[in-house]
Amino acid sequence: MVAESMEIDDESCGEALNFFDSLNMLFYFPDILPQLVFIESQMLLDKVSELVEETYHMRQGKKGVSGEKLRFRDHGEVTEKFMGEFESHYEPPLFTPKELVTLLKGLLVFAEMSEDVYFMPCLLQVVLG
């Protein structure tokens, strides 16, 4: 689709994307999400940071949590459905919760525990002493 809009063949487009990716001018993950190109690295970092920040606020809050939110807060477990609740994480129509889960899994930020359940180690609370 990108190649067509630029009136070049798919191979040349792929080579150009890989070249600009190697210069860190954009982020292209052809083995994970070949249909997406990210031009702002901060956006990707923000998505992970928002999840970590949410667990912090959940731990500080006085309200009890249960179900998926409890597993998210206490065990770093995430599902695609749960990720869909964080609307600020997505840039419709640029990418979807499913694509973000696929990307984070491919970048080894998420580890698949079972079908549609992922573990995100950086969500675990640090206990000192």
Judge whether 104 and 110 are in contact, CB under 8 Å: yes
Dihedral of CA 1/110/112/58: which sign?
Answer: negative
- Write out the residue limits of the CATH 1.10.10 domain(s) in the chain: 41-129
pTM of the model: 0.80
pLDDT of residue 22: 93
Cα–Cα distance measured from residue 102 to residue 84, given in angstroms and rounded to the nearest whole number: 13
CATH placement of domain 41-129: 1.10.10
Per-residue pLDDT of the chain (129 residues; tens, 9 = 90+): 567 777 888 899 889 999 999 998 999 999 999 888 888 878 788 888 888 888 888 888 867 788 888 898 889 999 988 888 776 656 666 778 888 899 999 999 999 999 999 999 988 887 776
